[in-house]
């Protein structure tokens, strides 16, 4: 980590006034210590990164919705780098793609305030979602015994224990409006359990009361959980939107059966994009921007390429684009995709173009490249050695920052 930061500092110095800045979000980790193997709790799932390693834990709260912690790093654009795993361990579980993600809009990486995220998943194993604690039952929290579950370490710095589901008991020691703290009794959540559940029993029913947010580094004294009952206004709309038959024609869908009519179609140029395609007889039957086209399942409304959100499609903000980059190319902004100019991986018809700051994007090759910015901007027409070195430095800084971000997320 220290070597990486030093490398970024050297790059910033070399670039002078156009210094590269890398922002590292604060992270806290929180297998269960003093717990036992958990062959039950099918609704508690592992969240793994692209390398297949455990990143966090989560809980199925609706047939297609997993609740976890925001600091786990699964966002609307990074979700393709993660999967949800159902089962007793990461190695012996069933993996399901993440179709959508929403981080609490007021999540603060410094204080861990509002540390919640919601993940939409496609069809997985048949599992009954868990019920969540409501405000009316929250009086059960003070001094309550809670059952904690997760796939993390059994002790600090014990990575060999990662990836196996365990459970144990903790005791609530204090409660605030949005969190509650727990102490070992004798179990405590540890690294890899972030985003995992704390269950409290109300009457004869066990309810999801908290989501692990942070704890002491040695996993010995305390953990802090985000109260689920305090965030109903954040959770419920997402759960409602993920229900079967709720999405209208042309809008993004997360699984087959999500649409009110028709199928959840896949965009031809990017299989990560899916949208509701209702049946039709003519173009007039379709929403604006769509056309009636033949398919293997009959005529249906489809988007002509580029599909909204796909590379090269029109946009007005980063949120319009699947890869989170709305870039001005020529006179109109289009969806781009970050690329490495030294080793570009743009699809046919696209070129890796310098956009702004340290960013390079795959943009339509036919489009005019963005105008050079003042000061340290890079024009494609400038091919001097100094410009090449600056471009290389920018690309290297971008790559280092990206790898640093991935490492940080995997530590949760």
The C-alpha atoms of residue 77 and residue 323 are separated, in whole angstroms, by: 6
pLDDT at 329: 73
Question: Can you spell out the DSSP letters for 319-379?
Answer: GGSTTS-EEEETTEEEE-EE--TTS--PPTTEEEEEEETTEEEEEETTSPPPPPPTTT---
pLDDT at 31: 53
* CATH number for the domain formed by residue range(s) 135-236: 2.40.10.10
- Domain 41-121 identical in fold to domain 135-236: yes
State if pTM tops 0.85. Answer: no
- Residue whose entry in the numeric block shows the structure tokens 């059952």: 147
Token readout for 182 is: 């727990």
- What is the residue extent of each domain of the chain? 41-121, 135-236, 244-302, 318-410
pLDDT at 162: 86
pLDDT at 35: 66
Strands 145-150 and 117-121: unpaired
Give the number of other Cβ atoms within 10 Å of residue 358's Cβ: 23
pLDDT at 295: 82
What pLDDT tens digit does each residue of the chain (412 aa) get?
333 333 333 333 333 333 333 323 333 444 567 667 767 899 999 999 999 999 999 999 999 999 999 999 999 999 999 999 999 999 989 999 999 999 999 999 999 999 999 999 999 899 999 999 998 888 989 988 999 999 998 888 877 778 999 999 999 999 999 999 999 999 999 989 999 999 999 988 999 999 999 999 899 999 999 999 999 999 999 999 999 999 999 999 999 999 999 999 999 999 999 999 999 999 999 999 999 999 887 899 999 999 999 999 999 999 899 998 899 877 789 999 999 988 888 998 999 988 777 789 999 887 644 443 333 333 333 333 333 333 434 444 444 444 444 433 333 5
The C-alpha atoms of residue 110 and residue 135 are separated, in whole angstroms, by: 27
Question: Can you spell out the DSSP letters for 363-381?
Answer: EETTSPPPPPPTTT---TT
- Which alpha helices (DSSP H) does 211-346 contain, by range? 232-241
The C-alpha atoms of residue 264 and residue 286 are separated, in whole angstroms, by: 15
| CATH architecture, range 41-121 | Beta Barrel (2.40)
Q: 202 has which bridge partners?
A: 205
pLDDT at 269: 92
What is the DSSP secondary structure assignment for residue 9, as one 8-state letter? Answer: H
pLDDT at 367: 66
pLDDT at 29: 40
The C-alpha atoms of residue 307 and residue 252 are separated, in whole angstroms, by: 11
């Amino acid at each position: 980590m220290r070597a990486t930061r030093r490398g970024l500092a050297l790059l910033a110095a070399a670039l002078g006034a156009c210094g590269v800045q890398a922002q590292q979000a604060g992270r806290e980790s929180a297998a269960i210590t003093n717990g036992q193997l958990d062959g039950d709790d099918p609704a508690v799932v592992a969240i793994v990164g692209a390398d297949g390693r455990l990143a966090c834990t989560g809980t199925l709260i609706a047939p297609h919705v997993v609740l976890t912690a925001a600091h786990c790093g699964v966002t609307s654009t990074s979700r393709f780098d993660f999967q949800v795993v159902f089962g007793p361990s990461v190695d012996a579980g069933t993996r399901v793609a993440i179709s959508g993600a929403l981080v609490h809009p007021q999540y603060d990486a410094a204080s861990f305030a509002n540390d919640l995220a919601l993940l939409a998943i496609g069809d997985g194993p048949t599992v009954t979602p868990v019920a969540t604690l409501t405000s009316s039952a929250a009086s059960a929290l003070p001094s309550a015994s809670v059952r904690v579950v997760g796939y993390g370490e059994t002790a600090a710095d014990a990575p060999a224990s990662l990836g196996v589901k365990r459970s144990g008991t903790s005791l609530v020691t204090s409660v605030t409006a949005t969190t509650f703290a727990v102490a070992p009794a004798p179990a405590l959540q540890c690294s890899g359990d972030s985003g995992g559940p704390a269950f409290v029993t109300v009457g004869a029913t066990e309810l999801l009361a908290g989501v692990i947010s942070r704890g002491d580094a040695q996993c010995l004294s305390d953990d802090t959980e985000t109260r689920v009952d305090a965030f109903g206004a954040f959770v419920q709309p997402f759960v409602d939107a993920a229900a079967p038959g709720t999405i209208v024609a042309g809008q993004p869908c997360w699984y087959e059966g999500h649409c009110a009519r028709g199928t959840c179609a896949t965009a031809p140029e990017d299989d990560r994009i899916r949208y509701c395609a209702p049946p039709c007889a003519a173009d007039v039957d379709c929403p604006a921007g769509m056309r009636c086209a033949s398919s293997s399942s009959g005529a249906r409304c489809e988007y002509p390429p580029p599909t909204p959100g796909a590379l090269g499609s029109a946009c007005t903000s980063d949120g319009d684009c699947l890869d989170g980059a709305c870039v001005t190319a020529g006179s109109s902004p289009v969806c781009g995709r970050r690329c490495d100019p030294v080793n570009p991986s743009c699809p046919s018809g696209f070129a890796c173009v310098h956009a702004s700051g340290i960013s390079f994007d795959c943009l339509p090759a036919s489009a005019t490249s963005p105008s050079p910015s003042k000061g340290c901007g890079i024009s494609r027409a400038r091919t001097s050695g100094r410009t090449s070195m600056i471009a290389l430095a920018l690309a290297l800084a971008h790559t280092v920052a990206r790898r640093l971000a991935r490492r940080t997320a995997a530590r949760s």
